[in-house]
């Protein structure tokens, strides 16, 4: 769909369209998390942005605001074991599907469609009109909101995991392959939540 037609579609059906995004494709440990957010066009937070462009404090504030203002918010996690089983791309798409279903379940809505951040379509359990949007977390408010929800939820999970596996510094890097994380892997080997299919884990 051409960009102008996509915007018109979104404007017409916005209250029945979920924005989908994920967090955690790159880390060496922990789950990938996806979120689905549905807004009424008349009630959208004014200070949304791609989660990567926001401070942790601002993301936390918007996490609460989005839950208060959205018509529906869905969240889904796909584990490190599942990532190893089906690969990170398929796990990310599976998480988006589950987040979409979670949004419908929590809100009682049957959503008309989805805007998916990236260039891969989601395999929904039923027919859903969907469009991929590269860089969508810089364009559509619902995708921006989904990126924030997914990021905050996953960061909180990794902070919790840091209490169980304190040697790895998950509270700081959230599982990404920083120098300190790679050094910890060399010293201690992988812990139970590391993704074995990611080369640095078993290097």
**Residue 66 CA to chain centroid, in angstroms?**
14
Model confidence pLDDT, tens digit, residues 99-136: 999 999 999 999 999 999 999 999 999 999 999 999 99
Task: Write out the two tokens for 189.
Answer: 């080997």
CA distance 25 to 22: 8
Q: What's the predicted TM-score (pTM) here?
A: 0.95
Question: In the CATH hierarchy, which top-level class contains the domain 3-159?
Answer: alpha beta
How far is residue 149's CA from residue 110's CA, in Å, rounded to a whole number? 21
Helix then strand then coil, % of the chain, to nearest 5: 50, 15, 30
Per-residue pLDDT of the chain (203 residues; tens, 9 = 90+): 666 788 888 888 878 999 999 999 999 999 999 999 999 988 999 899 889 899 999 999 999 999 999 999 999 999 999 999 999 999 999 999 999 999 999 999 999 999 999 999 999 999 999 999 999 999 999 999 999 999 999 999 999 999 999 999 999 999 999 999 999 999 999 999 999 999 999 86
CB count in 10 Å sphere of residue 197: 15
What's the pLDDT at 7? 81
């Amino acid at each position: 769909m051409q960009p102008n037609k996509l915007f018109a579609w979104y404007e017409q059906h916005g209250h029945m369209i979920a924005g989908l995004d994920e967090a955690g494709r790159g880390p060496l440990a922990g789950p990938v998390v996806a979120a689905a957010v549905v807004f009424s066009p008349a009630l959208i937070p004014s200070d949304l942005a791609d989660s990567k462009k926001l401070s942790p404090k601002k993301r936390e504030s918007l996490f609460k605001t989005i839950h208060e203002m959205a018509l529906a918010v869905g969240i889904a996690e796909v584990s490190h074991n599942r990532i190893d089983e089906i690969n990170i791309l398929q796990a990310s798409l599976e998480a988006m599907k589950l987040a979409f279903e979670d949004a419908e379940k929590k809100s009682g809505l049957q959503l008309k469609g989805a805007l998916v951040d990236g260039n891969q379509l989601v395999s929904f359990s039923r027919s859903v009109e969907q469009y991929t949007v590269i860089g969508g977390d810089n364009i559509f408010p619902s995708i921006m909101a989904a990126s924030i929800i997914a990021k905050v939820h996953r960061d909180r999970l990794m902070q919790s995991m840091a209490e169980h596996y304190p040697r790895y510094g998950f509270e700081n890097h959230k599982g990404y392959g920083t120098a300190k994380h790679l050094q910890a892997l060399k010293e201690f080997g992988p812990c139970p939540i590391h993704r074995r299919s990611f080369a640095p884990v078993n290097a």
